[in-house]
Structure 1
Amino acid sequence: MKRVVFAVPGSLDTPTGGYAYDRRIMAELRQLGWDVECLDIGDGFPLPDEATRSAARSLLLEVPDGLPIVVDGLALGVLPDVAAEVASRHPLLGLVHHPLALEWGLSAERTDALHRSEQAALALVREVVVTSPTTAKLVASDYGVSADHITVARPGSDPAPRSRGSRSEVPHLLSVGTVVPRKGFDVLVAALATLAALPWQLTIAGDLTRDPNEAAKLDASISQHKLAGRVATPGAVSSERLAVLYDSADLFVLASRYEGYGMAYAEALSHGLPVIGTTAGAIPDTVPQEAGLLVAPGDVAELAEALRRVIADAELRRRLSEGALASARTLPTWQQSGAIFAAALEKLA
């Protein structure tokens, strides 16, 4: 049986798209006959303290020599020194959801340091898997990885029932994502604050504990704009609760400043929801123009205008919904994504 170790920073149950991707790819590899071990190399990435770095190094060096290791990019990018040691004993595959230097809100110094660190780490792996064509181009052009050693394995999509909507005269907007600066919830609230005269309700479903400072800013913004009765922030929700939220939504909106893929956008398409997003990163790879309206990231006025159009026009929502369902049929399944990932692992040999 073919064996592989997945080195993941922290709990595999962490409620983000990146960890969901890791979980599903591991499950698909097992279905394909791989013996997959998940190795938790510690919390705190991509800002590990020295104790976490040391523990991660020890755990990786304890893996029996010769076994291939997949290292999630959230950790790999800040462990080039550890990667150098491990690469002498193991074939490594780097999994890049999106480059660490593209996280929003970093200082110029921190951005540069992360770019140099991740570039050094990626130079030590034999193969790289990315989750979108956009990220593949970026890893090749900005990080010096040969295109011959980059595999695009997009996240898969599960079949989903078409959303029935709120069945109300007040359109229900849904936004899904961890509350961190990159997701642009501050931009979304500011845009909706200019549309107070229109009927709408918004639910933001996403982890509020990852960045407590950003969560506090979101609460303050909702209060400042007097939107407390119209914006719900339940935090991270169960898959069952999320399915209910998708079913009762009329429109999906996420104002991300960057996405290496954007699994929430794909999930919204699968439910047949009209999408409002941005042109940042790989989002245009996922959301075609017939399924949604994409605006410049960080542009409050442009986002407000897109929201106004879709909230006020039921016929436009219907057309975009049909486009969403059509585009969802072109998305890969998890089985297809797992097979592509497995082929990348085979190249390690």
Structure 2
Amino acid sequence: MTGTTTDRTGPRTRAPGRYPPPSVPGIIPMSLRTAHFVVPGGIDDPATPSGGNAYDRRITLDLPGFGWRVRQHPVHGTWPRPGERARAELARTLRGLPDGAVVLLDGLVACGVPEIVVPETRRLRPAVLVHLPLGDETGTGTAAAAALDAREREVLRAVPAVVATSDWAVRRLVAHHGLDPGRVHAAPPGADIAPLAPGTDGVSRLLCVAAVTPRKGQHRLVEALATVTDLPWECECVGALTPDPAYTARLRDLIGRHGLADRVRLTGPRGGAGLDTRYACADLTVLASSAETYGMAVTEALARGIPVLATDVGGVPEAVGRAPGGGVPGILVPPEDPAALATALRDWLGEPEARRRLKAAARARRAALAGWATTARALAGVLDRLPGEPRRAA
């Protein structure tokens, strides 16, 4: 998850019973313990929304309901490959924490710098939150990627607890890095139930919410859409355009070469009311990623009763899930397969009965989604169980 892909600025509707009773505004009970949370700088920047940033912001708000006051420590840098200034800032931040402090580190910051993080495990009580394994974000097959993968392994083996954002990610981290399964825990993202999306005409308005990067696979979506131009549809791609400018340029060129400039729009990042408006108009949400630990854009769509068409990768099937009656609220297709994506799009656009079933399942799944309180409760449980004393050097 670095994953994902959406910005959750602004309020959302909270389902009754999903959150602990609020405390007096502005007052934090003295009984709360403190967790120091090391996060990437720019976590609140609306120009660079991501699922990881949204997750970090939300658990910061919700952990106090489960006994943990959170003190954020943003560290700016080109994570997971920071420059010297960022490395020095992270080292200063960790050195400045008191002995025995509980520290939650975002894996994007922590996993690429074992020489900074691992020595601090001898005096701190750290847990690492992995939104997306580094190899899934950066790819494999090069010496640089292998080195980064080895650095992540060193960090995750050194800390007493690792938190992943899906059951699939737990299994992957345990198997790939040889971790003790008892130290790796799942805390999947929650979802805030939102008003049902009215859509446009029930069929033709497609929405892709994802940063424009090769991993999110917008080029495969464009290739698929190019084969169904005989049917009526429009597709809006909402997400940051700056993480990989070269890829964004190639994607624009691909859209132009297929003559889709009037039907596929890259509108950049949107948050709060702007993102809500896009979801309200959507008839189907599409995600063509090659790797996802969960897929927060999936549950954001389902929280509005919008069916999804997504690639069958990582934790996406967990996010799609099933409605209480057993119906599947989405279509899963193989990754890296524009032809399969095109077939699914044609089925959606041309089969009214299939659309009816998917919409009914999406609305039923909406009512059964877990809230963010479930996420915060799981994460608080991990912090509660951290060893009472840090590992000491021999």
Q: With the length of structure 1 as denominator, give the TM-score of the two structures.
A: 0.96
Match of 1:38 among 49, 72, 90: 72
Contact 1:104 1:181 in 2 (8 A): no
Bigger CA drift: 293-302 or 102-111?
A: 102-111
Q: Deviations over 1:253-293 (max 9, x none)?
A: 01010101100011111111121101111111121471111
2-structure distance, mates of 1:141, 1:312: 42
1:105 is displaced (CA, Å) by: 4.7
Q: Quote the residue 2:351 is aligned against.
A: 313
- RMSD of Structure 2 on Structure 1 (CA): 1.4
2:196 aligned partner, one-letter code? R
Q: Deviations over 1:75-131 (max 9, x none)?
A: 111011111121112011010112001125554323322221100000111111111
Q: Quote the residue 2:112 is aligned against.
A: 78
Question: Secondary structure of the equivalent of 2:208?
Answer: strand
Question: Secondary structure of the equivalent of 2:73?
Answer: strand
Does 2:135 correspond to 1:109? no
**Where does 1:196-275 land on structure 2 (aligned, <5 Å)?**
196-275=229-308
Q: With the length of structure 2 as denominator, give the TM-score of the two structures.
A: 0.85
Question: Secondary structure of the equivalent of 1:123?
Answer: helix
**Where does 1:104-143 land on structure 2 (aligned, <5 Å)?**
105-143=139-177
Contact 1:105 1:181 in 2 (8 A): no
Bigger CA drift: 148-157 or 46-55?
A: 46-55
Question: Secondary structure of the equivalent of 1:98?
Answer: coil
After TM superposition, the runs of 4+ consecutive aligned structure 1 residues lying more than 3 A away are 104-107
Whose helix proportion is higher, 1 or 2? Answer: 1
2-structure distance, mates of 1:53, 1:320: 48
Contact 2:286 2:310 in 1 (8 A): yes
Matched positions, count:
348
**Where does 1:87-98 land on structure 2 (aligned, <5 Å)?**
87-98=121-132
2-structure distance, mates of 1:177, 1:165: 19
Q: Quote the residue 1:296 is aligned against.
A: 334
1-structure distance, mates of 2:379, 2:369: 16
Q: Quote the residue 2:39 is aligned against.
A: 8
1-structure distance, mates of 2:289, 2:37: 28
Q: Which has the higher contact order (CA 8 A, sep 6+)?
A: 2
Q: Quote the residue 2:372 is aligned against.
A: 334
Query: What 5-or-longer segments of structure 2 have no aligned partner?
Result: 1-31, 322-326, 389-394
Query: What 5-or-longer segments of structure 1 have no aligned partner?
Result: none
Contact 1:102 1:111 in 2 (8 A): no
1:50 is displaced (CA, Å) by: 2.3
Q: Deviations over 1:2-59 (max 9, x none)?
A: 0011100112214100110011111111233422110012221012112221221112
Bigger CA drift: 109-118 or 217-226?
A: 109-118
Contact 2:138 2:145 in 1 (8 A): no
1:146 is displaced (CA, Å) by: 1.1
Question: Secondary structure of the equivalent of 1:102?
Answer: helix
**Where does 1:12-23 land on structure 2 (aligned, <5 Å)?**
12-13=43-44, 14-23=48-57
Contact 2:41 2:75 in 1 (8 A): yes
2-structure distance, mates of 1:81, 1:184: 34
1-structure distance, mates of 2:200, 2:182: 47
Contact 2:139 2:145 in 1 (8 A): no
Q: Quote the residue 1:48 is aligned against.
A: 82
Q: Identity of paired residues, percent?
A: 39
2-structure distance, mates of 1:110, 1:321: 44
Quickly say closer, same or farther: Cα 1:217–1:106, change in 2 above 3 A. farther
Question: Secondary structure of the equivalent of 1:15?
Answer: coil
1:40 aligned partner, one-letter code? P
1:327 is displaced (CA, Å) by: 2.3
Q: Deviations over 1:146-196 (max 9, x none)?
A: 11111111101101111111037x610000011111100010001101111
Question: Secondary structure of the equivalent of 2:268?
Answer: coil
2-structure distance, mates of 1:312, 1:10: 45
Does 2:205 correspond to 1:172? yes
Question: Secondary structure of the equivalent of 2:92?
Answer: helix
Match of 1:279 among 309, 312, 319: 312
1:238 is displaced (CA, Å) by: 2.2
Bigger CA drift: 24-33 or 135-144?
A: 24-33
Does 2:226 correspond to 1:193? yes
1:233 is displaced (CA, Å) by: 1.1
2-structure distance, mates of 1:42, 1:265: 29
Quickly say closer, same or farther: Cα 1:104–1:250, change in 2 above 3 A. farther
2:85 aligned partner, one-letter code? A
Quickly say closer, same or farther: Cα 1:329–1:146, change in 2 above 3 A. farther
2-structure distance, mates of 1:58, 1:104: 27
Contact 1:129 1:151 in 2 (8 A): yes
2:311 aligned partner, one-letter code? T
